Structure 1
Amino acid sequence: MSVAGRTVSGMDSTVEWAVVDSGIGPLLLAATERGLVSVVFHAREGVRERALERLAGQLGAEPAESATGRLAEPIRQLAEYFSGGRREFRVPLDWALTTGFNRQVLRELAGGVPYGTVVGYGDLARSVGQPGAAQAVGAAMGANPLPVVVPCHRVVESDGGLGGFGGGLETKRTLLALEGVLPQPLF
C-alpha cells in the first residue's frame, strides 16, 4: 500500500488523513484523537479534495501540515484485510460523523455481522429493534462514514440482490468475493 497524507487541525482536535492504495482503488482514511473517523472510496484528487473540505466543515477543522501517525494501525490492518490475512478490524472508531438511528445501525453492523457473512436490510432493522425500518437501514448504509471497516458491503437485499453501495456495485462484489461470499469477479 502506498500512502500520502497530512493533518487537518481544528480548535479542539486534529484530523490526520492519508490516501492508501487498496484492492479496490485509493482510499482516503481520516482519524481524530478518538479514532478512525472516515474512509472514502475512489480517493483520487477531486474526490479527495471534496472529502477533505467536507471533513473540515463537519469537524470544524482547517488544514495543517503535521502528521501524528495515528493512521499507522488502520493502514496496516487494511493492508492485511486486502491481502486476505485479516477478518476483523481492531482500531478505535470515532463515531462523530453519524448520530441517532444511523449510528445505532452502524454499531450493530460493526459488531454483529462477521467476515464472510451477509445480512439483509430487514434483518439488520430487526436486530436494532426497528423491524419496519429496512429502508432507513439502507439510508444508514449509504451514509456510513467508515465503509470497509464498518462493513456495509455485507448488507444485501432479502431476495439475494446486492442492493446499493456508495463505492459502486463492482467494489461491493470485489469485497464480498474477497470474503468468500461471492465468486471472484472475472476481469
Structure 2
Amino acid sequence: MDNPEPRGPHLEWTVVASDIGPLLLAATPQGLVRVEFHAGPERADGMIGALVSRLGADAWRPAPGDEVLLAEPVRQLAAYFAGDLRRFELPLDWRLSSGFNREALLELDRSVPYGAVVGYGELAARAGRPGAAQAVGHAMGSNPLPLVVACHRVVENDGGIGGFGGGVETKRFLLALEGVLPQPLF
C-alpha cells in the first residue's frame, strides 16, 4: 500500500524496528491512531487495509525519514526504548476505542505512570466501575495504542503478570525496561 501522499483524509503509516520487534504505527491528522506489534509485511498490509476501511481514509506510507504525522511518534518510541522517555506526549486519535474501553484506557493513561503497575480490579475502580476487572481486561486487550497507552502496566490482582496482546514475554520485557521487574537473563 505504498503510494503517493493522498490529497483527502489520510492515514500515514510506517513500520519501525524496536527492541520488541517491528511495530506498525499509523496516524491521522488528529493524532496517532494505531500501534501494532509483530508487524511483518503481511500483518502490516492486513492492518492497514482494515484501518483504511474503518476510517474511510487513504493510506500513505512515506519513505523512512519523510514521515510527517509520524515523525514525533517514531522519535518518542526510540527515546522510550533507549530509556530516555517516561511519558509519551502525543496527540491521539481515539476513534478506534469507545465506551468503557476508552474510559479505562484514559484512566490508565492518566493514573499509572512509568515504572508503576495497577491491578485490573483497581483500574476498574479508578474508572468508576468497581468489580469490573474482567471488563478492564477486555479494554486492555482492545487497546489500539499499546506502548503509548501502557496496558502492559496492568497486572493480575493477585500479583500475576496477566496477559498481553504483544505476548507475555514482551510484557515482561517492557516491565523490566521500566524497572518493575528484574531484567531477564539472556
TM-score (norm 1): 0.92
Number of the residue aligned with 2:27:
31
1:23-77 Cα offsets, whole Å, 9 max, x none, are 1111000000010000000101121111111111211124446676110001000
Unaligned runs of 5+ in 2: none
Q: Distance in 2 between matches of 1:7 and 1:75?
A: 20
Q: Does the aligned pair in 2 maintain the 1:7–1:15 contact within 8 Å? A: no
Q: Once the two structures are aligned, what percentage of the paired residues are identical?
A: 61
Q: Does the aligned pair in 2 maintain the 1:7–1:17 contact within 8 Å? A: no
Q: Runs (4+) of structure 1 moved beyond 4 Å?
A: 5-12, 64-68
The number of residue pairs the alignment matches comes to 183
Calculate the aligned-residue CA RMSD, in Å.
2.0
**Within the alignment, does 1:56 sit opposite 2:52 as a pair?**
yes
**Within the alignment, does 1:97 sit opposite 2:96 as a pair?**
yes
Number of the residue aligned with 1:17:
13
**Within the alignment, does 1:175 sit opposite 2:170 as a pair?**
no
* Cα distance, 1:11 vs structure 2: 9.0
Query: One-letter code of the match for 2:159?
Result: G
Q: Distance in 1 between matches of 2:101 and 2:137?
A: 10
Q: Distance in 1 between matches of 2:84 and 2:148?
A: 14
Query: One-letter code of the match for 1:123?
Result: E
TM-score (norm 2): 0.92
* Cα distance, 1:7 vs structure 2: 6.8
Q: Distance in 1 between matches of 2:20 and 2:61?
A: 28
Unaligned runs of 5+ in 1: none
Query: One-letter code of the match for 1:170?
Result: E
